[in-house]
A and B are shown apart, each in its own frame.
Chain A
């Protein structure tokens, strides 16, 4: 029965200074199947996959590929063995073209030296067309949105013609429509016998695409089951080791007077005539597909990129926000969707990241930092959000993806902003922590703050929002109250079919 698995990872252990990331973890994957790998943030999923991808060596354990024991000391070895990987962090090179990014390290060559650019572009065009991705391979990566970059990374992983493709949270940056597209691509791959290891925190996706599920907890193997034998509750309790009852703990709060009014905000080429109002104690959901311009509106509102026209009133008074510090002074906080680019200082400690936006609060006598209160508050935040890190002195780049997101949240929650803009706040966050963040949003509005939440996950929008506005191609296409909102209504607004 051994040969039925194309890949077996057995009893893998790995430790980092201060952290045992894996202890006896493993996974067994069948040819032509989609194998979901699940676990809380920091469970060790990415680490296990990095070992398979040749990025990190295991301390102990065995990898058996098609019956042969192997070990990879570099990504190129793993690629040669027909294993490719979509990394949890986007790994694109901004100032190179799409085609150059896709064929990086294996460019079509003339005479072993010269890169045949036109060949490369033609190949990329063919690849992207075959996958139904409409992106010109000759444009530079910086010109793409995050979601488009993610699609390119998917295309790149597929282009290796691998037998095993690891997808570490491939849908973290794309919306429902592109997810459907990804499913199609995955099904085409498995038909050809390719095995896909699929990591995601979104249970919907798992039930849509996976054949088998392996669950990990705290670096250990928990169980592997066929998807038919599982319910959502089963997976969740295997992951967290306890029951989790309500997913969207909506707190009923009295909605007060308007705190933010946006009138006819326009930025050429990005969005047009956006008007909406946010009230005290309200969670306003902002739904839409990728590229609808939701993030762009918030960027202009927050003063990062100026709008061409329009008016913004905060608590009834017109304001002119030209920079992030203006925005902060006016009581706004913005938790960005791209934590690497605009949110976190990766080489700095968890502590320094958490306090970065509220330094004034910890200064004594205008000069010195009050280390004691810094440490106290950071420890509180760590506990509150269950940030998995050995100490608050740990560098953020060493945390798992989901825990990085939590640090970002902690940072903004510490500021005493009244209006909090959350752009995809639970992207990459496990189910347990997700419901805690949702609960925290409830706490925020209970204390009289207001929240704007951009999310591409419709269940989250539906579950948490008091009111929902929807954007499509730079325009506001709909507004629905909590009672009237359904998945279908939102989708038709989001696709512009109403």
Chain B
């Protein structure tokens, strides 16, 4: 019959614990940064930090769209292939003295939008499982990439097009601004618009969304199209950064994007997830990659570490959502 001893600081320790679990991924990031700073003096240099953010900008941008999809209980496996095709299409219209920059951008983004809309059609109207619909898109769009490029990288760009991936403004790479813009846009959509509420509602309880008069099909179409466009944006940035549109570009990016979302607290069973979480998730992946590179850790071991971190993050997240 042991009575529970009531500790005077019980409430305090409880709320500290609640705080820690609520922001666990932020702490993981801070912890990683601290460890890496300690192990490698080069890590905390501004150049290196900027480099990390630029490196993760692509998977984070893809991750924002993927986050929305996962919140609706879907998945997107086609991001990597869309990156390649959008990059190739934009590249084709980015040769000097041909078209203005806008044409390349609009067509590149348009291809992504189209791919996303096709995914959305199969998921919301034909009612295929998202895994299957986007797997089909992943395979066939990779093929489209090879067809359009005839298997060769497309090079020779205008200065403006090159500027997207390698330009600087006020001392920071342009890519970081684009990342920031995409993050803010996605955050506002998800957090502050009616569409955002609908996305959470569909993932939280689709039946409830239906009986509340929400147009589930329309919102799913939006989400997949938006994600397609985000992948295309990343594809344009990547082709510019590499100075070539390549049919092999963006391989396995979909996995990094999904990992960022999941590490950042997006639940694969739907209804839960945030843009800021995905951004942090991408940063965790980026910091890990960069840190391990700096420490010259063998690439095979790097994969083991990355895999373990993802599983660990999800375990933590489970504790958080209990």
Contact indicator B215/A91 (Cβ below 8 Å): no
Q: Would you call A268 an interface residue if the criterion is a C-beta within 8 Å of the partner chain's C-beta atoms?
A: yes
Separation of A114 and B208 alpha carbons in the complex (Å): 22
Q: Which of A100, A114, A310 lies at the interface centre, i.e. has the most chain B CB atoms within 10 A of its CB?
A: A114
Q: Would you call A76 an interface residue if the criterion is a C-beta within 8 Å of the partner chain's C-beta atoms?
A: yes
Asked, given contacts A107-B197, A114-B192, A115-B196, whether A95 binds B271 with beta carbons under 8 Å apart, the answer is yes
A90 to chain B, nearest CB (A): 8
Q: Would you call A237 an interface residue if the criterion is a C-beta within 8 Å of the partner chain's C-beta atoms?
A: no
Contact indicator A95/B204 (Cβ below 8 Å): yes
Separation of A263 and B215 alpha carbons in the complex (Å): 53
Asked, given contacts A95-B272, A266-B4, A311-B1, whether A104 binds B197 with beta carbons under 8 Å apart, the answer is yes
The number of inter-chain residue pairs (CB within 8 angstroms) is 84
Which listed residue (A85, A93, A115) contacts B271, Cβ 8 A?
A93
Asked, given contacts A91-B205, A92-B205, A93-B271, whether A100 binds B213 with beta carbons under 8 Å apart, the answer is no
CB contacts (< 8 Å) of A429 on chain B: these are: none
Contact indicator B204/A93 (Cβ below 8 Å): yes
Which listed residue (B1, B195, B207, B212) contacts A104, Cβ 8 A?
B212
CB contacts (< 8 Å) of A105 on chain B: these are: 198, 201, 209, 212-214
Contact indicator A93/B209 (Cβ below 8 Å): yes
CB contacts (< 8 Å) of A308 on chain B: these are: 4
CB contacts (< 8 Å) of A91 on chain B: these are: 205, 207-208, 211-212
CB contacts (< 8 Å) of B4 on chain A: these are: 266, 268, 308-309
Question: Which applies to chain B's interface (DSSP): helix, strand, loop or mixed?
Answer: helix
Q: Would you call B193 an interface residue if the criterion is a C-beta within 8 Å of the partner chain's C-beta atoms?
A: yes
Contact indicator B210/A104 (Cβ below 8 Å): no
Separation of A94 and B193 alpha carbons in the complex (Å): 19
Q: Would you call A432 an interface residue if the criterion is a C-beta within 8 Å of the partner chain's C-beta atoms?
A: no
Asked, given contacts A114-B193, A266-B4, whether A93 binds B201 with beta carbons under 8 Å apart, the answer is yes
Separation of A307 and B288 alpha carbons in the complex (Å): 41
CB contacts (< 8 Å) of A263 on chain B: these are: 1
A474 to chain B, nearest CB (A): 14
Contact indicator B2/A85 (Cβ below 8 Å): no
Q: Would you call A79 an interface residue if the criterion is a C-beta within 8 Å of the partner chain's C-beta atoms?
A: yes
Asked, given contacts A104-B208, A115-B192, A309-B1, whether A96 binds B213 with beta carbons under 8 Å apart, the answer is no
Separation of A58 and B208 alpha carbons in the complex (Å): 21
A343 to chain B, nearest CB (A): 18
Q: Which of B194, B205, B211, B272 lies at the interface centre, i.e. has the most chain A CB atoms within 10 A of its CB?
A: B211
Number of A positions contacting B (CB below 8 A)? 34
Against A, the Cβ 8 Å flags (1 = close, 0 = not) of B255-282 are: 0000000000000000110000000000
Separation of A53 and B271 alpha carbons in the complex (Å): 25
Q: Would you call A113 an interface residue if the criterion is a C-beta within 8 Å of the partner chain's C-beta atoms?
A: yes
Which listed residue (A93, A113, A309) contacts B208, Cβ 8 A?
A93
List CB contacts (< 8 Å) of A177-194 with chain B.
Answer: none
- Kindly report which residue of chain B lies nearest to residue A106, judged by CB atoms: B213
Q: Would you call A55 an interface residue if the criterion is a C-beta within 8 Å of the partner chain's C-beta atoms?
A: yes
CB contacts (< 8 Å) of B212 on chain A: these are: 75, 91, 104-105
List CB contacts (< 8 Å) of A77-126 with chain B.
Answer: 79, 85, 87, 89, 91-96, 100-101, 104-107, 109, 113-115, 117
List CB contacts (< 8 Å) of B1-40 with chain A.
Answer: 1-4
Asked, given contacts A93-B201, A113-B194, A114-B193, whether A104 binds B2 with beta carbons under 8 Å apart, the answer is no
- 22 A-B pairs in the complex with CB atoms less than 8 angstroms apart: A75-B213, A79-B213, A85-B211, A87-B211, A92-B208, A93-B204, A93-B205, A93-B208, A93-B271, A95-B272, A104-B208, A104-B209, A104-B212, A105-B198, A107-B194, A107-B197, A114-B188, A115-B192, A115-B197, A117-B192, A309-B3, A311-B1
Residues of B with Cβ closer than 8 Å to A? 1-4, 188, 192-198, 200-201, 204-205, 207-215, 271-272
Q: Which 6 A-B pairs have the closest CB atoms?
A: A76-B213, A93-B204, A91-B208, A104-B212, A105-B212, A105-B214
Task: A93-B201, A115-B193 given; name 8 further pairs at CB < 8 Å.
Answer: A74-B213, A91-B207, A91-B211, A93-B208, A105-B198, A105-B214, A115-B192, A309-B4
